[in-house]
């Protein structure tokens, strides 16, 4: 459940940094073209690209091309679009609320551009949106979806979905901004149709309808009914716009959904929403988080008496979700604790708090954890039956997924006939795309 969840304490830790505050996986569990798999079927490979990753992490859209990930992905979810207090999709340059500069105003030089050409001062579209457009041109078949909400920006979803009139206006605003591409004017940037063709659909990342999310996020008992109606409204308007444009393929509509059965039942009428959604991305991480007082697994494939990927898949299938519409979430980061006492391999032991890390205490990118593993200072431990791994140096523990874990998980996807894999987030992978390669090979049965 990556943004659902369990421990609110981890949110507090992560919220110390804007760089991770919006990550769909900020809390614990309660609370190319399609590539064929080994069986000949195709699997979705959905990666989240973070708007803010272009700053501190200096991860640009062009890096997806340079590290080979773009040719392996089927979908990029752009994180995130925000919902205003008035219940509309919006953008602008508002600290903590919107970043039009990163989205479409920031000029890129030739070295950081997908097409190798520097942006000019007067082009209507620059920034991440223009680079995504260039990436799609280079990799036909790759789809880009705007992901709305996330942990920090689900604040006003419940209000936007409250009535038929509010739902209609909300959906119209999102289609106008992202699908039609009518961006606010920002100097020479933006304008009517400036971002047309960048986005191929919408990903709903409301965390969570009918149950608690971030501290300022509104939720109501009627959210479950209203979310179902909101999904229908998005489907209806997206299809109508596609027909008006004589578009050959429909705009896609997806959602990020939780692990905890209580959260599923509080907010999701599974059979009904699955009729209108192309697929859902299952929370497959943050089963336990670094704000908790004991170390634990955050993304196990199997875990008796605890949250797990297998348990999440079963929970959604029991409620009527077809296997081929379930896309398994995988973490490209780890949850970590320090001051671990009790000896042994460190798992299940008391701690003094979240481990120090690059961007936010208790949250570290895989590329940094790989360096710890390669340094020899940490021992790699594995629960082969449970399908998870962790690093421990006697004091500090990090639970994470490495290529070996991902091979087991992609094997599970193929065996269970699931729809594919999703990962948060692409900027946490190594410079050569090690995790993306492991997922791609695993889904191909290699």
- Catalytic sites, residue numbers: 207
* Residues β-bridged to residue 90: 82
- d(CA 2, CA 6) in angstroms, rounded, equals 10
- d(CA 442, CA 252) in angstroms, rounded, equals 25
Closest CA to 43 of 417, 429, 432: 417
Q: What are the DSSP calls for 338-379, one per residue?
A: ES--S-TTSTT-B-SEEPP-SSBTTEEEHHHHHHHHHHTSSE
Unique residue bearing structure tokens 């001051």 = 339
Count other C-beta atoms under 10 Å from residue 216's C-beta.
Answer: 9
* Residues β-bridged to residue 399: 335, 390
* Residues β-bridged to residue 47: 76, 423
- d(CA 97, CA 101) in angstroms, rounded, equals 12
Q: SS3 of 220, please?
A: coil
Whole-Å CA distances, 37 to 41, 163, 212, 445: 5, 43, 38, 6
Tokens of residue 128, six digits: 């991440």
- Which runs of consecutive H residues, i.e. helices, occur in 144-251? 157-160, 164-174, 223-244
Q: SS3 of 435, please?
A: helix
- d(CA 260, CA 386) in angstroms, rounded, equals 18
> Vertex 88, ends 85 and 92: CA angle to 5°?
85
Q: SS3 of 154, please?
A: coil
* 38 alpha-carbon distance from chain centroid: 25
CB neighbour list of residue 412: distance below 8 Å, 6 or more residues apart: 301, 309, 310, 328, 387, 418
Closest CA to 319 of 250, 259, 239, 386: 259
Unique residue bearing structure tokens 């027909």 = 243
Pairing of strands 201-205, 98-99: unpaired
- d(CA 188, CA 69) in angstroms, rounded, equals 32
- d(CA 220, CA 166) in angstroms, rounded, equals 15
Unique residue bearing structure tokens 């590329």 = 367
H/E stretch holding 421 = strand 420-424
């Amino acid at each position: 459940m990556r943004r659902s969840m369990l421990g609110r304490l981890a949110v507090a830790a992560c919220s110390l940094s804007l760089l991770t505050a919006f990550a769909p996986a900020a809390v614990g569990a309660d609370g190319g073209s399609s590539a064929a798999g080994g069986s000949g079927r195709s699997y979705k490979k959905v990666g989240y690209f973070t708007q803010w990753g272009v700053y501190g992490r200096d991860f640009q859209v062009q890096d997806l091309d340079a590290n080979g990930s773009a040719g392996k992905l089927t979908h990029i979810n752009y994180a995130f679009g925000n919902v205003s207090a008035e219940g509309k999709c919006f953008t602008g340059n508002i600290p903590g609320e919107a970043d039009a500069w990163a989205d479409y105003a920031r000029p890129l030089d030739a070295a950081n551009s997908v097409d190798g050409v520097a942006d000019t001062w007067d082009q209507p579209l620059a920034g991440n949106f223009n680079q995504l457009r260039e990436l799609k041109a280079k990799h036909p078949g790759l789809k880009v979806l705007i992901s709305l909400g996330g942990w920090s920006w689900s604040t006003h979803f419940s209000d936007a979905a409250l009535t038929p009139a509010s739902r209609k206006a909300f959906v119209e605003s999102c289609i106008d901004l992202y699908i039609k591409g009518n961006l606010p004017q920002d100097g020479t940037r933006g304008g009517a149709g400036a971002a047309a063709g960048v986005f191929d659909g919408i990903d709903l990342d409301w965390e969570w309808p009918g149950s608690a999310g971030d501290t300022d996020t509104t939720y109501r008992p009627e959210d479950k009914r209203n979310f179902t109606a909101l999904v229908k409204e998005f489907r209806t308007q997206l299809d109508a716009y596609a027909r008006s444009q004589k578009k050959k393929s429909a705009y896609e509509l997806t959602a990020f959904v939780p692990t905890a059965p209580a959260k599923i039942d509080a907010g999701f009428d599974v059979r009904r929403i699955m009729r209108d959604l192309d697929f859902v991305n299952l929370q497959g991480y943050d089963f336990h988080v670094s704000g908790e007082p004991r170390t634990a697994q955050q993304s196990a494939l199997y875990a008796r008496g605890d949250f797990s990927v297998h348990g999440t898949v079963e929970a959604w299938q029991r409620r009527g979700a077809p296997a081929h519409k379930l896309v398994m979430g995988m973490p490209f980061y780890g949850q970590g604790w320090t001051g671990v006492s009790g000896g042994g391999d460190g798992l299940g032991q008391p701690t003094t708090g979240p481990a120090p890390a690059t961007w936010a205490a208790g949250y570290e990118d895989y590329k940094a954890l790989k360096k710890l593993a390669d340094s020899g200072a940490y021992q790699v431990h594995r629960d082969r039956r449970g399908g998870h791994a962790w690093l421990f140096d006697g004091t500090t523990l990090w639970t994470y997924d490495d290529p070996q874990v991902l091979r087991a998980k992609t094997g599970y996807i193929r065996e269970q006939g699931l729809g594919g894999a999703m990962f948060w987030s692409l900027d946490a992978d190594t410079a050569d795309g090690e995790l993306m390669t492991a997922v791609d090979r695993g889904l191909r049965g290699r």
